[in-house]
Amino acid sequence: MDLIEAFRPVLEEYRKLIVQDVVELLDQRREATANRKMITIKEAALYLGRTVPAIRAMIHRRELPCKRIGRRIFFDLKELDRWIAVHTA
């Protein structure tokens, strides 16, 4: 029996624990954003599966609908959902 085979059950258990933690964190994130109408750039990046610099570039190119309040940028979740629907069809 080689070393990898000896540790396979332990590694599989760690994998299951990590997957469970990730699922719980994603559920918490969804619940937190579902109760709000406006989200930040960082939250929009998570919501869209992009990086913050990618979101900023999309804002600069006027590809994403956003609202500016002073120097801060926010996204309306309903507008983002519409944008997703249009750009994934």
Please give the full DSSP string across 10-73, using - where no structure is assigned.
HHHHHHHHHHHHHHHHHHHHHHHHHT-SEE-HHHHHHHHT--HHHHHHHHHTT-S--EEETTEE
pTM of the model: 0.59
Q: Quick one: average pLDDT of 68-83?
A: 93
**Fold of the domain spanning 36-89:** Arc Repressor Mutant, subunit A (1.10.10)
* Structure confidence by residue, pLDDT tens digits, 9-45: 999 999 999 999 999 888 887 776 666 789 999 999 9
Domain ranges of the chain: 1-35, 36-89
